[in-house]
Structure 1
Amino acid sequence: DVLCGAVGGLLCKGVAPFDAARLAAFSNGYAGDLAFKVKSYGLTATDVADNLGRVLAEFVD
């Protein structure tokens, strides 16, 4: 699950649990929106994960 991995990764970087959950939920949705623009209804979790790094780079130092 992409969302779970995002939360876990942020926690490992020292982000507070509530903030990690909040940022991961937002980033997962944003990455999904980006993937949808390219893949439409044929997108997979991998497509979302492929966009997640770019999205997180915009919001995490």
Structure 2
Amino acid sequence: MAEKNKKKEPKHDAVVTKDSLSFFEKYINNASPTGFEWEGQRLWLDYLKPYVDDTFVDNYGTAVG
């Protein structure tokens, strides 16, 4: 009788997609010590490009999209 009163949970879309998880794994496993962050910047900007109009890296090395 308890099962009769159970409400079905609405289906939710996953927040983390396969692409975002793949990016996260590549980004976290990328060695980017101080002064050599360019590879991490490239990974971030490549991932970000489909979602933004423009990307750039400022004089301090901040990658922006």
Pair in the same fold by TM > 0.5: no
Rg (Cα) greater in structure: 2
Q: Which has the higher helix share?
A: 1
Larger RCO of the pair (alpha carbons < 8 Å, separation 6+): 1
TM-score (norm. length: structure 1):
0.31
Q: Which has the higher strand share?
A: 2
